[in-house]
Amino acid sequence: MDRFSWSNGLLEINETLVIQQRGIRLYDGDDKAKLDSGVALLSTHRLIWRDVKNHECCIAMPLSQIVFFEEQAAGIGKSAKIIIHLHATPANKETGPYQHSKYSFIKLSFKEHGQIEFHRRLTEEMTQKRWESTPASQPIPTATGSQTGRTRAVGIVGIERKIEEKRKETDKNISEAFEDLSKLMVKAKEMVELSRSIANKIKDKQGNITEDETIRFKSYLLSMGIADPVTRETHGSGTHYHMQLAKQLGDMLQVPLEERGGMMALTEVYCLVNRARGMELLSPEDLVNACKVFESLKLPLRLRVFDSGVMVVQLQSHSEEEMISSALDNVSCTIPNIMLTLTRFRRHAVLDTHLRKMSSHSRETSRFNALNSFRDVFGRLLLLQVSDKGSLTAEEFAKLLGLSVLLSKERLLLAEKMGHLCTDDSVEGLRFYPNLF
Amino acid sequence: MSFEWPWQYNFPPFFTLQPNVDTRQKQLAAWCSLALSYCRHHKLYTLDVMEAQESPVFNNKKMERKLSIEAIQVVFEELRKKGEFSSWLDKNKSRCLVMWRRPEEWGKLIHQWVSRGAFPAHAGLSERRGGRKEFHGLEDWMLLRSLQALQTDGKAEIIIMDDGKGVKFF
């Protein structure tokens, strides 16, 4: 590490940037250096490292110092590294962060990957050894000074020389112009790429996502960078991850659930969540595991599994459910009253919850009669809907109620189990009739 | 007299074996009575299940619904269990006897008819049968069973003769 010298990080004339990589930690030999998080820039002449937190802290080393280098593969808990073996310190080396080092090699640890490309470019540079052919010099404000004293020649050689001169001049001008920007470029590049990708994603999905999703997407853009979605990197894997995910889902799914009557099939949830995320998608397993911890985290959502195996996410402590329960308790359980409450919550997932509770014969005797009449009335309501049309298939029922086909089928099957409906199974499909038997 | 179909015959779910237990019981009860009355009307004593599937009773051509083979077997099994109205001729349940009138009842009928003097007390089996319209088409096995029932009652006796069986009434 003593081969490095302090530098201002600016590229010199004739020096061009080859590749840069973030997330580099430097090792003095095998020891971790204090310089633990920075950007490594490889240019045609030097290897530069700049601290990501403190931009003043910038060190560089000429590539000519490098003897050879090798890759060290990533291990468990260890990032991939490139080990660079160096010549002895030259006498005229400028001061750097380390005065003396017992090692003659350094390591670059790629905490955010990128080692493959870096290695490739470094190999290229080391083979080409461009620093020998185009000696970099300190940037001189007046570029024209170097032009004086040139012998003018004629003929082909002269023309060639002129072309060469022009090329060098252009080169110099460009690098002069970009000197100040090079620092800014390094930062801005990443930001620009990110916002561009997000903007593209929005453009692609125009018309395919609903209003509130667009707004949500844009709010992510505003907060610059997908508002740190819960990923395996940020929160690790395992239950902690699922818990955090569950919390995020809980926030996110409130509004869509309300719109759909308090219940959504898990497949719908999966599609919705991943579309909103854009990047860092969830796997189905993660989603299911996150949903399973809803209850333990006392979130207002629940994962329910129907008999047929269909899984849905449902709003738990919906205020309407409490209203219905209290209505049953307080108000006299006359049929008209129950009918009234029912017609209002026709679409609600709450009804399905109650239905299931009843079909598994809850024996709370104090409310048994209430529930019985409730069940009768609900069945009758469903019966009315079916009788009205003579017979219904699950799809027709779904269209009628504005529910998803899956859920409407569940409801019809439940009604059949309770004996209010009967089925007609033929090549035409499954139709539900009022049970006239 | 043409056969009158019950209302269930025109109700499509009637032709699907209902999964709900209570509904199924009611459905099967309706099928049993329909099957029996149809057989009674058309004087059918034996049934082949495959053929039966095509007969109008189990196949409503207008509605394009028919009862599946398994369901037909369930219906006749139910008939058998309920009161011996049916019995299987083979293990595969492909053929069955339909006793829309029990042997005992047949026996009673025969005895009544005999008592009224339509035939002499001794008679061959075929003569017995050929007589009245009521017994028209009555198959041998059915006749035999009914006579056996009478025999148990003590009202008749089956005599083995040279060229077949005869029966003596008391």
| B chain contacts of residue A435, beta-carbon cutoff 8 Å | 20, 23
- Min CA distance, A339 vs chain B (Å)? 25
The token duo for A79 is 């990032």
Mutate to test the interface with B, among A386, A393, A417, A424 (most CBs of B within 10 A): A424
> Comparing C-alpha atoms, which of A301, A300, A271, A298 is closest to residue A284?
A271
Cβ atoms of B94 and B49 within 8 Å: the answer is: yes
Asked if B16 and A425 come within 8 Å (Cβ–Cβ), the reply is yes
Closest among A373, A383, A369, A391 to A414, alpha carbons compared: A383
A424 touches chain B (CB under 8 A): yes
Judge whether residue A111 has pLDDT over 80: yes
Reference A265, options A284, A245, A241, A293; nearest CA is A284
Please indicate whether, in this complex, the C-beta atoms of B12 and A435 are within 8 angstroms of each other: no
Beta pairing partners, A105: A85
User: Which chain A residue has the Cα nearest residue B28?
Assistant: A437
Mutation for testing the A interface, residue in B11, B23, B24 having most A CBs under 10 Å: B23
Given the structure tokens 């509904």, which residue do they identify? B23
Who wins on pLDDT, A215 or A303? A303
Taking contacts as CB-CB distances below 8 angstroms, the residues of chain B near A423 are: 13, 16, 18-19
- Is the Cβ pair B26, A437 closer than 8 Å? yes
Count of A-B CB contacts under 8 Å: 43
Residue A199 has what pLDDT?
Answer: 66
C-beta separation of A41 from A108 below 8 A: no
Cα–Cα dist A164/B85, whole Å? 113
Q: Does A143 touch chain B if contact means CB atoms closer than 8 Å?
A: no
Q: Quick check: helix, strand or coil at residue B62?
A: coil
On whether any CB of chain B is under 8 Å from the CB of A435, the answer is: yes
Determine the Cα–Cα distance for residues A375 and A359; give it in Å rounded to an integer.
9
Confidence at residue A94, expressed as pLDDT on a 0 to 100 scale: 80
Contacts of A306 (CB under 8 A, 6+ apart): A312, A410
If residue B61 lies in a helix (H) or strand (E), which one and from where to where?
none
- pTM for the full predicted model: 0.45
Residue B31, CA distances (Å) to A36, B15, B24, B28, B77 in order: 84, 9, 10, 5, 12
Rg (CA), chain B: 19
Mean pLDDT over the full length of chain A: 73
Chain A contact for B30, CB < 8 A? Answer: yes
Say how many C-beta atoms besides its own lie within 10 A of residue A434's C-beta.
21
> Is the predicted pLDDT of residue A358 greater than 80, yes or no?
no
pLDDT band at B133 (very low <50, low <70, confident <90, very high): low
Nearest to A423 among B7, B13, B22 (CB): B13
Per-residue model confidence (pLDDT) at position A217: 61
Determine contact: B13 vs chain A, CB below 8 A.
Answer: yes
Min Cα separation B119/chain A (Å): 48
Q: How far is B61 from chain A (nearest CA, A)?
A: 13
Cα A206 off chain centre by: 20
Nearest to A209 by CA among A147, A276, A269: A276
Contacts of B16 in chain A (CB under 8 A): 422-426
CA distance A113 to A115: 6
Which of A81-85, A245-249, A330-334 is predicted with the least confidence, judged by mean pLDDT? A330-334
CA distances to A93, A161, A250, A261, A391 from A166, in Å: 33, 9, 64, 73, 87
Q: Which residues pair with A430 in a beta bridge?
A: A425
Which ipTM did the prediction report? 0.74
CA distance B7 to chain A (A): 10
Task: Find the CB nearest B12 among A416, A417, A433.
Answer: A433
The per-residue pLDDT for B109 is 81
C-alpha distance from residue A301 to each of A34, A259, A271, B138 (Å): 47, 15, 17, 70
Q: B 71-90 residues with CB below 8 A of A?
A: none
CB within 8 Å: A424 and B20: no
Q: What single string gives the DSSP state of each residue in B108-136? A: HHHHHHHHTTSS-SEEEHHHHHHH-GGGT
In the three-class reduction of DSSP (H, G, I as helix; E, B as strand; rest coil), residue B91 is classed as coil
When CB atoms are compared, the residue of A419, A426, A431 closest to B23 is: A419
Question: For position A203, what pLDDT does the model report?
Answer: 65
Average pLDDT of span B150-163? 78
Asked if B6 reaches chain A (Cβ–Cβ under 8 Å), the answer is no
Q: In this prediction, what percent of chain A has a pLDDT beyond 70?
A: 66
Mean pLDDT in residue range A322-339? 45
CB contact under 8 Å between A436 and B11, yes or no, is: yes
Q: Which of B11, B22, B65 shows the shortest C-beta gap to A426? A: B65
Cβ-Cβ contacts under 8 Å, B65 against chain A: 424, 426
CB B6 within 8 A of CB B34: yes
Asked whether the beta carbons of A4 and A108 are under 8 A apart, the reply is no
Residue A300: closest CA among A282, A270, A322, A327: A322
Of B7, B18, B65, the CB nearest to A422: B18
Answer whether A309's CB lies under 8 Å from A346's CB. no
User: Residue B1 has what pLDDT?
Assistant: 60
Q: Which residue of chain B is at minimal alpha-carbon distance from A423?
A: B13
pLDDT class of A126 with cuts at 50, 70, 90: confident
Paired sense of beta strands A263-265 and A311-315, if any = antiparallel
Residue A186 has pLDDT above 80, yes or no: no
- The per-residue pLDDT for range B83-127, each reduced to its tens digit, is 778 888 888 888 888 888 888 888 888 778 777 765 555 555 555
> What are the distances in angstroms from CA A409 to CA A262, A263, A363, A412?
17, 14, 27, 5
Determine the pLDDT at residue A236.
Answer: 43
Q: What is the pLDDT of residue A212?
A: 63
pLDDT tens by residue, A60-72: 888 888 888 888 8
Question: Which residues in A lie closer than 8 A to residue B12 (C-beta atoms)?
Answer: 391, 424, 426, 431, 433
Of B13, B22, B26, the CB nearest to A424: B13
Q: What is the mean pLDDT of residues A343-368?
A: 49
C-alpha closest to that of A333 among A295, A375, A276, A288: A375
The three-class DSSP label of residue B84 is coil
Residues of A in contact with B30 (CB under 8 A): 437
Cα dihedral A88→A93→A96→A100 (10° resolution) = 40
Collapse the DSSP code of B101 into the 3-class scheme (helix H, G, I; strand E, B; otherwise coil) and give the result.
Answer: coil
